[in-house]
Amino acid sequence: MLFFMHFLKRRKLMFYRIKQFTLALTAKINKEDQAFINQYLDREEQKLFALLKVYEQKHAIRVAQGMATSFECDKEEMIRLGLLHDIGKIQEPLSIIEKSIMVLLHHLTRGNIKKLQSFKMIRGYYNHPQYGYELLKKKGGYAPSFLENIRDHHLAKGGSKCFSLLQEWDDKA
């Protein structure tokens, strides 16, 4: 029975990854998306956001829109956090194929691939939260908790309800 449950969990994950890959391949920013971005990000943030790969922009929009449905945190802050949570990916961007390879390697090595930081793909995949934290901290104007949520969004630690929402929607979107 345990083997069967494990098999179903792995199958669900496989279909989820295929869905993510398909969404990335077909990602486009439409007028509604652009209006959403313009409504919640200032000009400087919009310029940074535009440096993300289109598939990363679309992912961030889905995260932000999902977080906006929660009534447990400040809506505007949640949307901005969703839009900017992966902004560090502009430092060492990955193509769709590179990201897919990293997802597979991460799972096959159970995260041990992270030790090979001399490779750009590995640095970009694992360090984007820290890069985003440093970028936005340098820009200034953010609450410490906002910056910490950016930096820590891939860590498996408990935090505020807003932090949990970010993790939840980052995984879903």
Does some domain include residue 69? Answer: yes
Parts of the chain with a pLDDT under 70: 1-11, 13, 157-159
Instruction: Find the length of the chain.
Output: 173
Nearest in space to 173 (alpha carbons), one of 51, 20, 50? 20
Would you say 157 and 151 are in contact if contact means Cβ atoms under 8 Å apart?
A: no
* Torsion sign over Cα 113, 137, 152, 172: negative
Domain that holds residue 27: 17-88+128-172
Q: Measure Cα distances from 142 to 80, 137, 149 in Å.
A: 11, 7, 11
pLDDT at 5: 60
- pLDDT score at 21: 84
Indicate whether 38 belongs to any domain: yes
Query: Residue 41 domain-assigned?
Result: yes
Question: Is residue 138 in a domain?
Answer: yes
Return the structure tokens found at 163.
């932090």
What is this structure's pTM?
0.88
pLDDT for 11 equals 67
pLDDT of residue 60: 97
pLDDT of residue 173: 79
Domain assignment present for residue 147? The answer is yes
Residue 23: CB atoms within 10 Å: 14
pLDDT value of position 4: 55
> In the numeric block, which tokens belong to residue 125?
């995949």
Please name which of 113, 120, 107 lies closest in space to residue 17, comparing C-alpha atoms: 107
**How many domains does the chain divide into?**
1
Q: How far apart are CA 113 and CA 158, in angstroms?
A: 24
Helix (H) or strand (E) holding 58: helix 54-67
